[in-house]
């Protein structure tokens, strides 16, 4: 075996204490100038490179940093800013950057889900934002048309390479590859994105030459689309593309991650590049094929440390993979995390809120750097006493986790084992349930409801924060929340809404609220991960078997129901969404963890029913975003996800009505799965597509009841009664009126009361006007 090189594919950008976030927001508020922002960014980069070096990595990675988003950086680097922004080239660099990112009159509203897809308000004219593969990171979508031209604008990147070299580092620059860049963009005039490739390639070749001249020893070119089901034309384009890029003389490490290479494996191995990186965590099965096909002179970079999750690596397992590779592959073997560390929190330092036992099982970005160098030491056989000690610590933690009672709760396993086939089915079929529910609930046609949350006022947030800090005692807190619930109930009664909600005043976040009350979850104090721009999320960590020690929402809901004769809808987050927005165990299949959560939610559903709640909503806004990247894996995911939902809903009587809610998404290709949830009522976000999304449900003959959102909650605009009526009439064309509900698109927590009441008044008036005609 030859030498081993250690590196990472990318590092978190926000800084240890989210310095970048705060600096950006200060800059946007006009409180600092560009120079201050740039200098703080440069400081962050330097620190992060030094961390890589201090941990013992051989190469530092340059070009992964972004003020807002790395795809946006590429739009500038490749000089393809959309013409619609009307840039003249005279404007200030940063002004241009943030105009594309945030729009001109950007209005930052968000429904509270931890994802942002489809939520950029159109007026603001920012670039569209969408999910980066199957992560919770969102990138800005490049826009192409027949007129798109590319022009190299490399100064920023080259300056960073210089910065790093001046600090004495060995540099590997990182770029998003030309094919992935085109793939991830959107064509606005029907132009085939692939037809732009000949215009794009000279810019890349030029860039590679410049990087080389600047002293970047390696260039990592990310082509994550090699993990997708690609049309043949795209797959074939790789050959000529990389043949061209290779002419630049740069040493290219082609990087793939997130998913199996599948039918792209041979292509990936045989392209004229100096090396290939594969994700040996997500796609360990690729290793065999790669060892067969990768030419001996190439570098093989094995991503053996999980870049998407927070667990300490089992070094023995990783080492076994590395040994296997080393035996077969005669070229250089590199060691890396599976993908960029952008998707994990910065470091464990200062995580005092975590149970020390659980903390010991974790590794965030900084800790993962050290794992890489430990692996290198072991692979090379240079094991000093200090390294030996670290290895044994690591091994001890892995063993402890395997047998800990915090992980394994026999009751949970027993309960799942005891489940019988019908557990995921309601007693009666939909028609029978519908009858029972109609008799029980006595609702008018076109019943009105809302999605759950009402405005989270400053008062509510202050009370919750004071309670968390211990400044407000439990009695005071309960009184404050009950006051809010009463307010919400009275307002809904005054509006004459049919099915009420309690308003979710007591909830900060729809996943955290449940995670905090369930066993098996941990919470960090500083475990932030970038979601988009300056926005970060702090996902819970599911470390063990999940179970519900006590009811979570019953008291609040019972109180709310006691205030009114109208049905009060209980409000829960579903198992798939809780799973999707958390860091998940890696020691058992996701589907099993999901099923455990499902049983815990089922207990809550049953308890709500016992408390006299006749309508219960189980939100699943994340159902679609959990879809695997490869279509071949869709069905088994959807089977598991829908089964988990049905388990959570399956414990109640026919007369109890189960609702679910999903935010904006392309539903059409998963309609069978949505139907398989068998919720009595589904509410979906449709108003911005003017009910177009609903058409799919109609054509599919979606069997159960459905509430298409009749107004957009992402802006303070109040819809007119006529606008709502118009949308409802459209909905009635595709869904039988007896199946139709009337509700807003999503929760109202980001709105103010004034616009909320005005909008709901028009919504109810529209429903009433149409009822008269029916």
Binding interface with ligand GLN (CB under 6 A)? 111-113, 451-453, 504, 510, 571, 619, 621, 661, 663, 746-747, 749
d(CA 35, CA 27): 10
CA angle 475, 480, 484 (to 5 degrees): 145
- 661 annotated binding-site participant: yes
Q: Indicate the residue among 100 and 571 with the shorter CB distance to ligand GLN.
A: 571
CB of 747 to ligand GLN, least distance (A): 2
- 699 annotated binding-site participant: no
Q: Indicate the residue among 452 and 708 with the shorter CB distance to ligand GLN.
A: 452
CA angle 108, 114, 118 (to 5 degrees): 60
Reduce the DSSP state of residue 362 to 3 states and report it.
strand
Q: Which two structure tokens, joined as six digits, stand for 722?
A: 């006529």
Please choose, out of 378-386, 416-424, 712-720, 744-752, the segment that lies near Zn ion by the rule CB under 5 A.
744-752
Question: Taking CB under 5 A as the rule, does residue 748 contact Zn ion?
Answer: no
Please identify which residue in 80, 281, 673, 746 interacts with Zn ion, judged by CB under 5 A. 746
714 is catalytic: yes
- 235 annotated binding-site participant: no
Q: Indicate the residue among 67 and 568 with the shorter CB distance to ligand GLN.
A: 568
Which residues in 225-298 belong to E strands, given as ranges?
252-255, 275-279
CB of 750 to ligand GLN, least distance (A): 9
Binders of Zn ion among residues 365 to 394 (CB under 5 A) are none
CB of 663 to Zn ion, least distance (A): 4
Strands 138-140 and 129-131: antiparallel
The answer to whether the beta carbons of residues 711 and 747 sit under 8 Å apart is: no
The contacts found for 462-471 with CB under 8 angstroms, 24 or more apart, are 464/506, 464/508
Interface pattern 574-613 for Zn ion (x via CB under 5 A): ----------------------------------------
Question: Taking CB under 5 A as the rule, does residue 665 contact Zn ion?
Answer: no
CB of 115 to ligand GLN, least distance (A): 9
> 């599976």: which residue's tokens?
338
Torsion-angle region of residue 520: left (phi > 0), alpha (psi -120 to 50) or beta?
left
Residue number, nearest CB to ligand GLN: 747
Q: Indicate the residue among 508 and 653 with the shorter CB distance to ligand GLN.
A: 508
Count of residues that interact with Zn ion, criterion CB under 5 A: 3
- 581 annotated binding-site participant: yes
CB of 747 to Zn ion, least distance (A): 6
- 471 annotated binding-site participant: no
- 80 annotated binding-site participant: no
Q: Indicate the residue among 727 and 746 with the shorter CB distance to Zn ion.
A: 746
Which residues in 234-381 belong to E strands, given as ranges?
252-255, 275-279, 299-305, 333-337
Say how many C-beta atoms besides its own lie within 10 A of residue 188's C-beta: 13
Written as one string, the DSSP assignment of 709-768 is B-S--SSSPPPPHHHHHHHHHHHHHHS-GGGB-BB-SS--TTS-HHHHHHHHHHHHHHHH
Q: What is the DSSP letter of 175?
A: E
- 351 annotated binding-site participant: no
Written as one string, the DSSP assignment of 37-51 is HHHHHHHHHHHHHHH
Cα 575 to Cα 372, 590, 602, distances in angstroms: 34, 11, 10
- 18 annotated binding-site participant: yes
CB of 451 to Zn ion, least distance (A): 6
Q: Which two structure tokens, joined as six digits, stand for 256?
A: 């793939």
CB of 137 to ligand GLN, least distance (A): 18
Q: Indicate the residue among 437 and 453 with the shorter CB distance to ligand GLN.
A: 453
State the binding partner of 267 from Zn ion, ligand GLN, none, CB within 5 to 8 A by kind: none
The answer to whether the beta carbons of residues 24 and 14 sit under 8 Å apart is: no
Q: Indicate the residue among 447 and 621 with the shorter CB distance to ligand GLN.
A: 621
> Alpha helix (H) ranges present in 334-424?
356-359, 365-380, 385-403, 410-417
State the binding partner of 510 from ligand GLN, Zn ion, none, CB within 5 to 8 A by kind: ligand GLN
Q: Which of 110, 714, 739, 762 is catalytic?
A: 714
Which residues in 211-267 belong to E strands, given as ranges?
218-222, 252-255
Question: Taking CB under 5 A as the rule, does residue 663 contact Zn ion?
Answer: yes
The site for Zn ion (CB under 5 A) is made up of 621, 663, 746
So which residues are the catalytic ones? Answer: 714
Residues making up the binding site: 18-21, 131, 136, 451-453, 504, 535-536, 581, 619, 625, 661, 663, 685, 746
Residues making up the binding site for 5-methyltetrahydropteroyltri-L-glutamate: 18-21, 131, 136, 535-536, 581, 625
């Amino acid at each position: 075996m030859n030498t081993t090189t250690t590196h990472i594919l990318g590092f978190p950008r926000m800084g240890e204490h989210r310095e970048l976030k705060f600096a950006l927001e200060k800059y946007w508020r006009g409180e600092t100038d560009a120079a201050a922002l740039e200098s703080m960014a440069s400081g962050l980069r330097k620190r992060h490179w030094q961390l890589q070096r201090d941990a013992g990595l051989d190469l530092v990675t340059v070009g992964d940093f972004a003020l807002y988003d790395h795809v946006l950086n590429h739009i500038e680097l490749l000089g393809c800013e959309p013409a619609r922004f009307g840039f003249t080239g005279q404007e200030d660099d940063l002004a241009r950057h943030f105009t594309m990112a945030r729009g001109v009159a950007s209005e930052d509203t968000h429904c509270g889900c931890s994802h942002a897809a489809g939520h950029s308000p159109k007026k603001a004219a920012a670039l569209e934002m969408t999910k980066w593969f199957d992560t919770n990171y969102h990138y800005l979508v490049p826009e192409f048309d027949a007129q798109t031209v590319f022009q190299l604008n490399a100064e920023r990147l080259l300056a960073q390479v210089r910065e790093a070299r001046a600090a004495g580092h060995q540099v590997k620059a990182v770029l998003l590859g030309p094919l992935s860049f085109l793939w991830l963009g959107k064509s606005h005039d029907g132009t085939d994105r692939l037809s732009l490739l000949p215009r794009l390639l000279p810019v890349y070749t030029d860039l590679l030459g410049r990087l080389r001249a600047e002293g970047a020893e390696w260039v990592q070119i990310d082509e994550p689309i090699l993990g997708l089901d690609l049309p043949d034309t795209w797959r074939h384009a790789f050959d000529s593309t990389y043949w061209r890029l290779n002419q630049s003389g740069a040493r290219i490490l082609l990087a793939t991650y997130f998913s199996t290479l599948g039918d792209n494996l041979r292509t990936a191995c045989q392209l004229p590049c100096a090396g290939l990186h594969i994700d040996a965590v997500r796609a360990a099965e690729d290793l065999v094929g790669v060892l067969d096909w990768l030419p001996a002179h190439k570098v093989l970079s094995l991503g053996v440390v999980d870049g998407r999750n927070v667990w300490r690596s089992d070094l023995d397992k990783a080492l076994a993979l590395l040994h296997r590779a080393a035996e077969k592959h005669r070229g250089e073997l590199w060691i890396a995390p599976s993908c960029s560390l952008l998707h994990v929190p910065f470091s464990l330092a200062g995580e005092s809120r975590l149970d020390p036992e659980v903390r010991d099982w974790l590794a965030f970005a900084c800790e993962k750097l050290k794992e890489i160098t430990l692996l290198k030491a072991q692979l090379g056989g240079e094991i000093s006493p200090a390294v030996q000690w670290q290895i044994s610590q690591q091994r001890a933690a892995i063993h402890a986790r395997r047998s800990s009672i915090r992980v394994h709760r026999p009751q949970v396993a027993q309960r799942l084992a005891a489940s019988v086939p019908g557990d995921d089915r309601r007693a009666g079929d939909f028609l029978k349930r519908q009858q029972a529910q109609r008799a029980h609930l006595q609702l008018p046609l076109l019943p009105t409801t809302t999605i759950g949350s009402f405005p989270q006022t400053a008062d509510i947030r202050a009370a919750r924060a004071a309670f968390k800090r211990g400044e407000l005692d439990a009695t005071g807190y309960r009184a404050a929340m009950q006051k809010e619930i009463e307010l919400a109930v009275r307002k809904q009664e005054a509006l004459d809404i049919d099915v009420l909600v309690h308003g979710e005043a007591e909830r900060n976040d729809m996943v955290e609220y449940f995670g905090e009350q369930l066993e098996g979850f941990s919470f960090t104090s500083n475990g932030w991960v970038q979601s988009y721009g300056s926005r970060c999320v702090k996902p819970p960590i599911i470390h063990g078997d999940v179970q519900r020690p006590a009811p979570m929402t019953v008291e609040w809901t019972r109180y709310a129901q006691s205030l009114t004769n109208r049905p009060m809808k209980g409000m829960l987050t579903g198992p798939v969404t809780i799973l999707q927005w958390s860091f998940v165990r890696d020691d058992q299949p996701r589907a099993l963890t999901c099923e455990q959560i499902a049983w815990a939610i089922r207990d809550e559903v049953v308890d709500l029913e016992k408390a006299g709640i006749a309508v219960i909503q189980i939100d699943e806004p994340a159902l679609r975003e959990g879809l695997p990247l490869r279509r071949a894996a869709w069905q088994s995911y959807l089977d598991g996800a829908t089964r988990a939902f049905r388990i959570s809903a399956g414990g109640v009587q026919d007369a109890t009505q189960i609702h679910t809610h999903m935010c904006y998404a392309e539903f059409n290709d998963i309609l069978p799965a949505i139907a398989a949830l068998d919720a009595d009522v589904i509410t979906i976000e449709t108003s911005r597509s003017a009910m177009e999304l609903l058409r799919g449900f109609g054509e599919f003959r979606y069997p159960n009841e459905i509430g298409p959102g009749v107004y957009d909650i992402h802006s303070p605009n109040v819809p007119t009664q006529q606008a709502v009526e118009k949308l409802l009439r459209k909905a009635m064309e595709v869904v039988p009126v007896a199946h139709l509900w009337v509700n807003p698109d999503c929760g109202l927590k980001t709105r103010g009361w004034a616009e909320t009441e005005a909008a709901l008044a028009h919504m109810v008036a529209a429903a009433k006007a149409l009822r008269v005609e029916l």
